[in-house]
Chains A and B, each alone.
Chain A
Amino acid sequence: MELIKLTIDNRTVEVEKGTTIFHAAKKLDITIPTLCYMNLKDLNIEHKPGGCRICVVEVEGRRNLAPACATECFEGMDVKTHSVRVLNARRTVLELIISDHPFDCLICAKSGKCDLQDMAVKLGVRDIPFQGEKSTYKPDYSPAIIRDIDKCIMCRRCETMCNDFQTVGVLSGIHRGFEAVVAPAFERDLDHSECTYCGQCVAVCPTAALTEVDHTQQLINDLSNPNKTVVVQTAPAVRAALGEEFGMEPGTLVTGKMVAALRQLGFHFVFDTDFAADLTIMEEGTEMLDRLTRHLEGDKEVKLPILTSCCPGWVNFFEYYYPDMMDIPSTARSPQQMFGAIAKTYFAEKQKIDRKDMVVVSIMPCVAKKYECTREEFATDGSPDVDYSISTRELASLIKQANINFNLLPDEDFDKPMGESTGAAVIFGTTGGVIEAAARTAYELHTGKSLEKVDFEALRGFEGIRSATVDFNGVDINIGIAHGLGNARKLLDEVKAGKSKYHAIEIMACPGGCIGGGGQPLHHGDSSIIKARAKAIYAEDKGKKLRKSHENPDIIKLYDEYLGKPGSELAHKLLHTHYFDKKAKQVLLD
């Protein structure tokens, strides 16, 4: 390792050869501003197109200014990050970017969380000296994501996420020069593209060019409607991130405060998606065990590996790209939809509430969940099982609107019966969690033995693709895990080629799983935040008395009272689904 000495703003620093000025400055606690650079180092994503030119600095002896994000340090380099020349250039470049940006900050979806706005504040922009033509495009409202491309600043982060990380490739730079912008093919709406609604573009967009569809007003209307019973479910990843919106450290668990806040907001029943996650394990685990047993008994018909199906972005992905493999994923619905189906049948009947008077709302770390609610197969007579989903960010906004001092709230518990859950359900929120939860239950059901060590450490981690072998009483079960659709594609291609060694595979569309979802508080390119959330999730699991889904007493009761047993006819009707060839459907749409 070769070390290099250089000077930044008259201070000396020593860095490894190959380090950029941006990172060398970081070592001196100098944060050079940027609008396009993004480094998700835990996910091996470094996006440095060198396009925004906000990070320019002066390098002694160099003709022009250098972009700090892309310029490597050399021995004896003398860098100025705030000379008059730099400050003038940086501000002028920012003024140029703003000159092609709408001035509707007051009513913008990103106001207060916008990197461009923050930069304007930081650089003290008071006037835009260059007024001229602004780009205008037709806004695009899909069921989950809104594209308002007038606000695109060409940072190209979304393009990197969509193409390099997710390999979905819906977004591309189009046109050139002043007209250049990021958009789907032929500038069609996302609804007419192969978009999976994973929302990773939304998660990294510095402005409001890409935002999630907002359901908060609809929620407020429903909450104030005396004829409606509003039931809420909260996904496991939400509790590990919501606190960030209120200034708490990443990784702060706020389960109890969140429940209290939801009650104060006026929800009639505050439930937990974790309950449905335990239910998922019962159904998916049973299906997995069934397929495995048949396979081990030499049944050649049985399809393996079995793939998880909780993630709606992932479901969209295989419906578009692997329609010939639709019999591989589990038929189990996602926890969100299982919850909705049970809430509007079992629970509604118990409470004697008419289905049409019940509103089921979910709080999700996810953008694709908004779309999942609208899938026709998840509705009865036009009434959806889950009426709509709001993101972690939307919930935070609602809490603030309602003048609730979140940080001072007492911890409260979920309502019964659909608020009871185990540790296995909590870890659904992170990559590897679903398969670990399934393994805990499948192991015990398959072997009839009690699991000594509940923590399957081998399944945890942040590697894009991980694999582990679990000993099921002398039988080696190979498990594969992928997060990010690009990684998923690799595993899928293996399966397609008949080269997969796995019995079961868990796939999550987002980096880190749901904790890194498109609806979470913005990480602004800092992947350590996602890691901290994972830690919180595992901590909650550890703290739970019950850590295996099949031990959840309210789940046992649900089967006793209503469903019979996992995989029963009623369970199939309410908790399972089927998939569609979206490629074929799309051709018809065009």
Chain B
Amino acid sequence: MHMLVCGGTGCHASAGEMLFENLKKEVQENNLQDEVQVIATGCFGFCEKGPIVKVIPDNTFYVQVEPKDAKELIAEHAIKGRVIKRLLYIDPVKKEQIPDSKHMGFYKKQLRIALRNCGMIDPENIDEYLAADGYEAMGKVLLEMKPDAVIQEIIDSGLRGRGGGGFPTGVKWQIASKNHADQKYVVCNADEGDPGAFMDRSILEGDPHCVLEAMVINGFSIGATKGLIYIRAEYPLAIKRLKIAIDQARNYGLLGTDILGSGFDFDVEIRYGAGAFVCGEETALIRSMEGERGEPTFKPPFPAQSGYLGKPTNVNNVETYANIPVIINKGAKWFASIGTEKSKGTKVFALAGKINNVGLIEVPMGITLREVIFEIGGGIQGGKKFKAVQTGGPSGGCLTEKHLDTPIDFDNLLAVGSMMGSGGMIVMDEDDCMVAVAKFYLDFTVEESCGKCSPCRVGNKRLYEQLDLITKGKATEKDLDKLRNLSYVIRDTSLCGLGQTSPNPVLSTLDNFREEYLAHTNEHRCPAGVCKDLIRYEVIAENCVGCTACARNCPVNCISGERKQVHVIDQSLCIKCNACLEKCKFNAIAVI
């Protein structure tokens, strides 16, 4: 029996590590070392319900397991073979327990290619990767294929870059292969910066070898012998597992000189990012790897012509790489049979926000937003109304009800004013103010702009300030036109992708939620009750029982009232912190 414990950062944070230790201890105490193996795996994706324990072979899927549950898990499930019902997942709609993950709405529609090994194998053990057909594709490529044939296979698969741009991966490799130089580089972009997307981290934590394998294949096909992984320093667990994986691969002769006797040399080094979103842009990433400020440079020259240290360099993102070994193993034809006409394969999304099943999902291209949000995601939290879904992070747009049946792929999302981006998908409900959301994204862009070009440096700041005025009720309807023109110009004139896409959250909310903007500008009202300057907290007299909970918890003591009497909020002192509303058990506080 295998007990797979999620060892991803999300579950790690919710005491997953202690659970793992407790389980191991229980196994030892019960002398079950030969029968039960406790394995820390990568992320299962279902972060909402973490920590997760999956038992193989019976596929029992336990959710929100606490460290203290270890004893019972071993005593009941492992020894007596009895499923612990209280730890099973309960379907939010049907309200029934589902023991096997494959019957869960969250997993039913998923197709896991890039995430194939996440949650299945111990990422710190190369043997488990090898047992899951690991390094088989590399062997095939190095020993049986010519570089051009590998590139052709990738082109035929239709794989497009998963980092956001969606450029055909095979074509990119082809360009790099045609530029001759004494040294070329292969770079894995693991500087995942989109706030709310964490698929790259999950892959590196759950299946680091698949990225190494893909990089060797990439190096072989373009003639590069050096690989660099540019990873966020904020991902300690992923870094640790990558380092282990690199060491193991070297020890097994799968990295280094004369790999598998093929005569091909390839090795990988890790480079650390230092907290700059713009370094996800490949020219900025290269500058950063060279020890410079991560300022993007004008293309051409493209990295494939002159990249790291001026040498031809191919940059691909983690998820893109994770697809490569499977394409080689199963063939381009198989891969191309999945997805839509111009977007092949699957895409990993980080589903988050006001949704029941927060987590990491992988779905075939062409699936609709509705399926993702309402079937996989299990609908909106707390029975609230769906309002918008934001895809593509700070570069993307906010889509609404009317876009729910749009099949998701690169081109469709662009056409409706958003983009695939790296795969962040944030769901919002009726309590979210779209002006505030746009402002949130602009705040991020202002913070992360490198400052090199004027439209991004100053323009985004001005966009933010305009949005701020709107949320304060200090702007007019006419200012919305100004906002739109400024957005167009920033999009039209910025140097790199960051500035070229930063107005998308503004433009898409202006297009899809104009009414909400107008409520702010014309009526000085925030319909969602979010914008502090436009709302006030009031006590609803008929509901107030005078329990004093609000007054006791008010940080500025602005609520007065005797016990069992209706309370009153002093508006001149209220800082709109929401504490009273959170504390009131009688629905007696309202945002107006």
Contact = CB atoms under 8 A, between A and B. Distances in A.
Physical contact A–B (CB less than 8 Å): yes
Contact of B454 (A64, A72, A85, A96): A96
A51 interface: yes
Interface in A170-209: 173, 175-180
B155 to A, nearest CB: 23
Interface stretch (A126-134, A302-310, A414-422, A425-433): A126-134
Nearest to B468: A132
Interface string B431-468: 00000000000000011111111110111111001100
Interface string B262-288: 000000000000001010000000000
Contact of B489 (A70, A88, A176): A88
Nearest to B456: A177
B300 A72 contact: yes
Tell me the dominant secondary structure on chain B's binding face: helix
A50 interface: yes
A177 B492 contact: no
A178 B449 contact: yes
A544 B15 CA distance: 90
A50 B454 contact: no
Tell me the dominant secondary structure on chain A's binding face: loop
B221 interface: no
Contact of B493 (A89, A129, A175): A89
Contacts of A99: 458, 462
B453 A50 contact: yes
B458 A51 contact: no
Interface in B468-509: 482, 485-486, 489, 491-495, 500
B298 A50 contact: yes
A368 interface: no
B293 interface: yes
B298 A70 contact: yes
Contacts of A49: 452
A65 B446 CA distance: 22
A56 B459 CA distance: 16
A344 interface: no
Among B295, B446, B489, B494: residue with most chain A CB under 10 A: B489
Among B459, B486, B491: residue with most chain A CB under 10 A: B459
Interface string A25-67: 0000000000000000000000011111110100000001101
B458 A175 contact: no
Contacts of A88: 485, 489
Interface in A124-169: 129-130, 132-133, 153-154
Contacts of B455: 53, 92-93, 96
Nearest to B451: A180
A97 interface: yes
B494 A53 contact: yes
B454 A132 contact: no
Contacts of A71: 298
A506 interface: no
A67 B297 CA distance: 12
A100 interface: yes
Contact of A176 (B276, B454, B465, B486): B276
B493 A130 contact: no
Given A53-B455, A96-B458, A173-B295, A64 B450 contact: no
Nearest to B485: A92
Interface in A96-142: 96-97, 99-100, 129-130, 132-133
A175 B461 contact: no
Nearest to B447: A177
A132 B457 CA distance: 13
Interface string A292-306: 000000000000000
A49 B292 CA distance: 15
B298 A177 contact: no
A178 B482 CA distance: 20
A328 B295 CA distance: 41
B277 to A, nearest CB: 10
Given A97-B458, A133-B465, A154-B457, A177 B489 contact: no
B492 A65 contact: yes
Among A64, A88, A89, A176: residue with most chain B CB under 10 A: A176
A552 B402 CA distance: 91
B453 A176 contact: no
Contacts of B492: 56, 64-65, 85, 89
B489 A97 contact: no
Contacts of A179: 451
Interface of B: 276, 278, 293, 295, 297-298, 300, 446-455, 457-462, 465-466, 482, 485-486, 489, 491-495, 500
8 contacts: A53-B493, A92-B485, A93-B493, A130-B486, A153-B454, A173-B295, A173-B451, A178-B446
Interface of A: 48-54, 56, 64-65, 67, 70-72, 85, 88-89, 92-93, 96-97, 99-100, 129-130, 132-133, 153-154, 173, 175-180
Q: Which 7 A-B pairs have the closest CB atoms?
A: A180-B451, A130-B462, A132-B465, A177-B449, A96-B458, A92-B489, A70-B298
Given A64-B492, A99-B462, A132-B461, 4 more contacts: A53-B453, A88-B485, A96-B458, A96-B462
